[in-house]
Amino acid sequence: MNIVSEPAQVRAAVREWKANGLRVGFVPTMGYLHEGHGSLIRAACEQNDKVVVSIFVNPMQFGPGEDLESYPRDMERDSAYVEQLGADLIFHPQPETMYAEDFCTFVDMTGLTEGLCGKSRPVHFRGVCTIVTKLFHIVQPDRAYFGQKDAQQLAVIRRMVRDLDMDIEVVGCPIVREPDGLAKSSRNTYLSGPERQAALILSQTIRFGEQLVADGETDARELVRKMTEKIETEPLARVDYVEAVDGRMLQPTDRVKAPLLVAMAVYIGKTRLIDNFMIE
């Protein structure tokens, strides 16, 4: 497996593969890989002939005061893991390579990006759409893999690909969790012992919400109220948002009616964690 840092090196490899009629899968990540990323890479390896994984902590999607500098990084461990999973190429560019000093072109989306995480992270999705567009242009994959863990991001990427006629199949993959339920995340490493325990309130509340729906709750505001109340029983937790939105436009809705996305962001100490469930 090769690790390259220049777009031209990726293009050269992919050009050769495509000349041989091979299908290319792509998994964009910010590194510090865990089994959540692993599930995407595995799916990509199963469904394509060649797989590119990008590892890039994208400065543009972090707002002021967010964790850009402290975001965990471990290229050695990551590359061993990617190799073990059977991917073919890691693209690991430097920020200066991706963003020239006079960079001034952005991909911006209205609507879908304004609620949920977009409310407390106003520049986030512009950064995500811009970097994913750049990576798509560099890699030119047939298929790209994203986790349902970042449900809003998955919906945004699907919409961007449709709206801008990108010839790429977007594949969504289910949330991978720790044995005790906590959704796997590179940011879980920020948690102290007591915070790690407190963070279980997210997945417990997701299960609670799913059960309320299974038991017949039809009022989305009631669902959100009961879920919020449950999170507030955990003293180390502070709710950023709990919302029920329609699964297509991501707009708030009063009715529990498929397709529905129930999503939350919760601070455990200083660490902001997200989780969600979908009713399809």
> Can you give the binding site for ligand AMP, defined by CB under 6 A?
29-30, 36-37, 39-40, 146-147, 149-150, 173, 175-176, 183-186
**Nearest approach, Cβ of 217 to ligand AMP (angstroms)?**
26
Q: Which is nearer to ligand AMP, 78 or 220 (CB)?
A: 78
Q: How far apart are CA 189 and CA 183, in angstroms?
A: 12
Rg of the chain taking only CA atoms, in angstroms: 19
Q: Which is nearer to ligand AMP, 29 or 204 (CB)?
A: 29
Please report, for residues 5, 53, 80, 139, 183, the alpha-carbon distance to residue 1 in angstroms, rounded to integers and kept in the order given: 14, 11, 10, 16, 29
Out of 34, 37, 92, 124, the active site residue is 37
Q: Which is nearer to ligand AMP, 183 or 212 (CB)?
A: 183
The closest residue (CB) to ligand AMP is 147
**Nearest approach, Cβ of 195 to ligand AMP (angstroms)?**
18
Check if 37 is active-site. Answer: yes
Cβ–Cβ under 8 Å, residues 230 and 264 = no
Cβ-Cβ contacts under 8 Å for 127 (sequence gap 6 or more): 58, 59, 60, 61, 62
Q: How far apart are CA 111 and CA 90, in angstroms?
A: 33
Q: Which is nearer to ligand AMP, 14 or 27 (CB)?
A: 27
Please report, for residues 87, 241, 254, the alpha-carbon distance to residue 225 in angstroms, rounded to integers and kept in the order given: 44, 11, 12
Could you tell me the two tokens for 29? Answer: 């990540």
Q: How far apart are CA 125 and CA 119, in angstroms?
A: 11
Instruction: Name residue 71's beta-bridge partners.
Output: none
Please report, for residues 149, 151, 276, the alpha-carbon distance to residue 174 in angstroms, rounded to integers and kept in the order given: 7, 10, 11
**Nearest approach, Cβ of 100 to ligand AMP (angstroms)?**
23
Q: Which is nearer to ligand AMP, 185 or 256 (CB)?
A: 185
**Nearest approach, Cβ of 272 to ligand AMP (angstroms)?**
12
**Nearest approach, Cβ of 82 to ligand AMP (angstroms)?**
12
Give the catalytic positions in this structure.
37
